Amino acid sequence: MKWLSKFKENPKKTLLIFLGAMLIINLLQGLFTDLIFDEAYYWYFAQNLDWGYFDHPPMMALFIKISGLIFGGELGVRFFAPFLFAGSIYLTWLLIDSPKRDENILLFCAIAVALPLFNVYGFFMLPDTPLIFFGALFLYAYKRFLSSNAWVWVLLLGFSMAALMYSKYHAILLILGILISHPKLLLKFRFWVAILFSLLLFLPHLMWLYETEFYTLEYHIIERAKTNFKAGRVFEYIGGQLGARGFIFFFVFLALFKFKSRDRFQKGCKYVVFTALIFFLFSSFKRNTQPQWTIEVIVPLMVISFYYLIENVRFQKWFFRLALVNLAVILFARIALVKEGLLPINYEAHGNKTWVADLYEQSGGLPVVFENSYRDASMYAFYAGVDTYSANNIFYRKSQYDLDSTEMKMQGKKVVYVHKGSRPYDMKTFSAYKQRTLKGKIIDEFHSYRKLRCVIPLEVLSPNTADRIPLEIFNPYNEAIDLREEIIFHGFYLFENNKIAAGFTFIPEEMKNGESIIIGPNETLRLHFSLKTPSELKRIEMANELKKKEEDRRPASEIDEKYEKIKFFRVALSEYGIPPGFQGRRIAIDEQ
C-alpha cells in the first residue's frame, strides 16, 4: 500500500509521529482513568519524600511528587509516565544496529504497541514505570561503553545503574545478567569506576536502610510468607509470562530461543532476559510470582524480537495480524478502564470514588483508621483528602504505615475505625459499594501502640524451659504507657512460612500482683513471662475437638502434624480492642 511506503521513506518522522501519538493517548488515558490501589499507595509515599519506603525504593515517589506540583488529581500522579514510556521506546530504537532497521520502522512500532503489559506503564505510575525507562538507559549506556571508553559513557553507566536500583530492587537482575554475559567487565578499571559512582549515588538509600535497621529487607527476605512447592504456581508463572505478551507470545519467545547473538551487546540482551526469567521461575517454587515482575526485560526482549523478525521475513505477516488482534484487545481494555460496566468484572479502578464518598458522608469527614488495608487507607486519603492510617495486625502484613509516623497523627483523635470483617463491635455500615462492605465504629479517643518493640533476648527459645522467659519492651513514644491498663500480651507460634499455628494470651510475672507497670518515653523495660508450650496448646486443641460432633472432628494425626511444623515464636501486643500487631520479632524454636 502506497500510504505504508510513505512511512518507510522517512523512518525518523514516522517514529516521532508514533511517539507523539502515544504520548497524547497516554496523557488522556492517565487523565480520565481513576487511580488503582497501588498508585494511591505510592501517592501516599510521595506525601513525605524519603530515601526509601517499606515496599520499594523512592524513584516513583519522586516522579509523583513532582507531578503533584504541576497538576492535581490523577494526572498529578501519572504525568511523567507517558514521557518515560515514550523515552523507553526511543532508547530501544537507538539500541538496534542493523542496515534493515529504518525500512522496518512499522515493524518496530507494531512490536512496541502490541505488548499488552508494556503499554500499561504508558499511563500508570508504578515502580516498573521508571524501571523500564532506566533499564533502557542502562542498556544504551552499556552499548556505548562497549564501543568507547569515553568518561561520559562511564558516568552514564554508573548513573543508570543507580537509577535502576532507586526504581526497584529487582533491577539488580538486569545488571547481573550483563555481568554473566560479559564477566571480563570486572577486569576493566572504568567499569569499576562506573560501579563506584553508582554506589556513591545509591549511598543515601543504603544509609536509609541502615537507619531503619533494614526493616524492609528483613520483612521481604526473611519474614514474608513462603510456602511449600506447588506445581500449580509454576504453571501460573509460565502462563503469566505468555499472557503478558498477548497473542504475539509465540514470536517473542521464538525469537528469544532462536535468535543467535552476533556481538556482546546482543548476547547481553539475551542473558538479561534469561537471568530474570530463570530467577522468577525458581521464585515461583516458594511463592506466587506476578507476571509484571519480569517487565524489566521488556526492552531487551523487544530488541531481540525485532532482530529476529527482520531476519525471518516469513513470520512478519502473521506477526502483524496477531499484533492487530493484540492492539484491538488493548484498545478495548483502555476504554473499559475509563467506562465502567463494559467488562463483566469489577476492575480495581472502578467504584472507588463511590465508596469514598459514602464513607466520607457517613463519617462526617472524620479521620479514618482502616484495619489491615493500606490500599483503602491510601485510596481514601487521595480522594477524600482526609487523614488515614492502616492499623495492620499479625493476621495481615506490614506496610509503609508500620514504618513511618502516620500513626502519631491519629493519637487521641476522634476517628472512624473501619474493617471488612464481622465482629461484635460492628455498629455501622459505612459503605456498601457492590461487594465492598465497610463496617466499623466511631472511637472518641483513638490510641494505638504499633511501634512498641518487643525483644526476647535469647538465641533460640526452648519450650522445655517455659518459665521466666525474658521480654524487653522499648517505648519509642513521647508519652508513658500503662502496660496493665492499655496492653494485652499475646504469644504466637508460627510455621516456617510465618503463618500462625497457635496462640495464647499471657500476663508478665511483674504484672500479676495487680499493680500498674508504667513504661516511660524512650525507656526499655525488662519483664518475664511463662510460655504455653506447643504440647499444652495441642492438648487444649485436641480436647476442644472431642467436644465437637464426631463427623466434624479433625483427625488427631492432623493436629500432631500441625504442631510438629512449628518453627518460630513471636510476641505481639493488642491495645483498646485492636488485634495484635507486629511489635515482636520472631525467634527460632529449639527443636531438640
Q: 471 Cβ partners below 8 Å, 6+ apart?
A: 454, 455, 456, 508, 526, 527, 528, 529, 571
Q: How confident is the model at residue 288 (pLDDT cuts 50, 70, 90)?
A: confident
What is the pLDDT, as a whole number, of residue 347?
A: 85
Residue 512: per-residue pLDDT: 86
Q: What are the domain boundaries of the chain?
A: 16-338, 352-443, 453-588
**Which pLDDT tens digit goes with each residue over 532-579?**
988 899 898 888 888 887 777 888 888 888 888 899 999 999 988 789
94-103, 207-216, 456-465: the lowest-pLDDT one: 456-465
Share of the chain above pLDDT 90, in %: 71
State how far the Cα of 360 lies from the Cα of 388, in Å rounded to an integer. Answer: 12
- What mean pLDDT is reported for the chain? 91
DSSP, collapsed to helix, strand or coil, labels residue 71 as coil
pLDDT tens track for 181-227: 999 999 999 999 999 999 999 999 999 999 998 888 888 777 776 66
Cell numbers linked to 372: 489491615
pLDDT mean over 506-526: 90
Instruction: Tell me the pLDDT band of 431, cut-offs 50, 70 and 90.
Output: low
DSSP 3-state assignment of 569?
strand
What are the cell numbers at 424?
A: 461484635
- Tell me what the mean pLDDT of segment 119-124 comes to: 96
Position 484: which residue type? R
Summarize the confidence of residues 368-395 as an average pLDDT. Answer: 95
Q: What is the pLDDT of residue 429?
A: 66
The average pLDDT across 502-528 equals 91
Question: Tell me, what's the pLDDT at 420?
Answer: 67
Residue 1: its pLDDT value, please? 47
Residues near 265 by beta carbon (within 8 Å), at least 6 away in sequence:
95, 139, 142, 143, 146
| DSSP classification of residue 494 | E
- pLDDT over 70 (residue 428): no
User: Among residues of the chain, what percentage have pLDDT more than 70?
Assistant: 95
Residue 232 has pLDDT above 80, yes or no: yes
Overall average pLDDT of the 86-100 stretch: 96
pLDDT tens-digit series, residues 464-497:
777 889 999 999 999 999 998 889 999 999 998 8
Q: What is the pLDDT of residue 398?
A: 92
Instruction: Decide: 287 and 226 in contact? Cβ < 8 Å.
Output: yes
pLDDT of residue 219: 80
- 2-42: pLDDT as tens digits: 555 566 678 889 999 999 999 999 999 999 999 999 999 99
Backbone CA torsion sign across 294, 298, 304, 306? positive
Alpha-carbon gap, residue 27 to 4, rounded angstroms:
27
- In whole angstroms, what is the distance from residue 250 CA to residue 243 CA? 10
> Is it the case that residue 247 has pLDDT exceeding 50?
yes
CATH C-level class of 453-588: mainly beta
Which range is least confidently modeled, 130-144, 330-344, 373-387? 330-344
Spatial distance between the Cα atoms of 44 and 36, rounded to a whole number of angstroms: 13
Q: Is residue 517 packed enough to be buried (19+ CB in 10 Å), middle (13-18) or exposed (0-12)?
A: middle
pTM to 2 decimal places = 0.93
